[in-house]
């Protein structure tokens, strides 16, 4: 990689001041939020456009390809290492309420010795929550910023992955509910619900799986580019462990969903067999009665023809046959 000059950080206020967009910002003012304290600067730019890119070019010497990736909406998770900073792209699971399905939100990060730039392409609750806490609570700001950009990066990534666990618990609750619904004769609804849960699990896996090599690379190169006074090894190991737990839960949910689908198909097949067995038994019982009625209704002479008692004899014979067949089927447990 080329040896890029150190980013030119222009701090408009004193250290410890919180700098944000003015209340009466002009329409063409870049949407940039900043926190600057303890020698560390956190810049947050949500949904960047041309104005925000121009602001980044003015205040930082980031590589042009990285700035293009920031404006792109189809970047895969990755980490690019330069002499002065790291550029990281992460994907986080986000529930799209309009489409009613799970999607991926992209988070771009520029990390240097004394700054952190976060650029989400859509509102990401973990990023918004941590940024707001740092801006509104001085003790939180001092605790995080005083430990350097490496620790701030760890907290941001760790909170982002921890945000996945409540979503996973909701998927687990759906699977538990489906297990109860399978035996309540709601086959059509259960099939649709299982399909929806499987789609959520697949989308979740598509978001989480590409992060694995990025986290491994981050674990290897973090000490060279992140300024800190203490060892971050155990902290970034915790992020890798959280990612592995998420992946293990997704693997488990995938197997549970497949097992529930097979169980539901077995239940549907069993119910269908019961219906066919009952219908077949009824058909077999009606068959001899139909035969007797057909014989007695022939146009040729039959015994008892024109005799009133013969009609009741035929009915009695048909009733005896019917009762006998029902008793036989019940003894064989076909009914």
The closest of 261, 248, 214, 236 to 109, measured between CA atoms, is: 214
**Cα–Cα distance list, 110 to 39, 229, 236, 289 (Å):** 17, 20, 17, 86
Percent of the chain with pLDDT over 90: 23
Class in CATH terms, 18-269: alpha beta
Rounded to an integer, what distance in angstroms lies between the CA atom of residue 248 and that of residue 255? Answer: 11
pLDDT at residue 15 tops 60: no
Q: DSSP of 86-111, one letter per residue?
A: EEEEEEEEEEETTTTEEEEEEEEEEE
Cβ neighbours around 158 below 10 Å, total: 17
- Which structure tokens are listed for 56? 């980044």
Domain ranges of the chain: 18-269, 275-331
The whole-number average pLDDT for the span 298-315 is 72
| Cα of 256 vs its chain's centroid, Å | 15
Q: Is the pLDDT of residue 321 over 90?
A: no
- Kindly give, in sequence order, each residue whose CB lies less than 8 Å from that of residue 318, ignoring residues fewer than 6 positions away: 289, 292, 293
Q: What is the pLDDT of residue 42?
A: 93
Q: How would you classify the pairing of strands 78-81 and 86-96?
A: antiparallel
Q: Residue 115 in contact with residue 7, Cβ under 8 Å?
A: yes
pLDDT, residue 13, reads 41
Q: Give the C-alpha separation, 34 to 10, whole Å.
A: 11
Structure tokens at 199: 């789609």
State pLDDT tens for residues 37-94. 878 899 999 888 889 889 999 889 899 999 998 888 778 899 988 888 889 999 998 8
**pLDDT tens profile 212-258:** 888 888 777 666 655 545 566 777 888 888 999 999 999 999 999 99
């Amino acid at each position: 990689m080329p040896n890029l000059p150190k980013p030119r950080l222009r701090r408009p206020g004193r250290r410890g001041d919180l700098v944000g967009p003015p209340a009466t910002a002009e329409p063409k003012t870049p949407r940039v939020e900043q926190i600057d304290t303890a020698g560390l600067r956190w810049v947050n730019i949500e949904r960047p456009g041309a104005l925000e890119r121009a602001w980044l070019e003015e205040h930082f010497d980031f590589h042009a390809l990285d700035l293009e990736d920031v404006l792109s909406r189809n970047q895969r998770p990755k980490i690019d290492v330069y002499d002065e900073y790291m550029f990281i792209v992460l994907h986080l699971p986000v529930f799209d309420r309009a489409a009613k399905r799970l999607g991926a939100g992209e988070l771009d990060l520029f990390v240097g010795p004394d700054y952190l730039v976060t650029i989400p392409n859509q509102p990401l609750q973990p990023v918004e929550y941590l940024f707001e806490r740092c801006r509104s609570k001085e003790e939180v700001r001092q605790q995080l910023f005083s430990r350097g950009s490496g620790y701030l990066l760890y907290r941001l990534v760790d909170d982002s992955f921890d945000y996945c666990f409540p979503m996973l618990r909701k998927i687990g609750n759906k699977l538990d509910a489906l297990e109860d619904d399978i035996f309540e004769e709601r086959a059509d609804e259960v099939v649709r619900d299982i399909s929806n849960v499987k789609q959520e699990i697949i989308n979740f896996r598509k978001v989480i799986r590409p992060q694995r090599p990025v986290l491994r690379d981050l674990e290897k190169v973090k000490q060279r580019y992140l300024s800190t006074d203490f060892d971050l090894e155990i902290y970034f190991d915790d992020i890798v462990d959280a990612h592995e737990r998420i992946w293990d839960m997704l693997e488990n949910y995938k197997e549970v969903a497949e097992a529930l689908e097979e169980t539901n198909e077995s239940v549907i097949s069993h119910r269908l067999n019961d219906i066919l067995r009952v219908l077949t038994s009824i058909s077999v019982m009606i068959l001899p009665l139909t035969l007797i009625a057909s014989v007695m209704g022939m146009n040729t002479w039959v015994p008892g023809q024109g005799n009133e008692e013969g009609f009741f004899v035929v009915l009695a014979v048909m009733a005896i046959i019917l009762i006998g067949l029902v008793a036989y089927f019940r003894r064989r447990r076909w009914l």
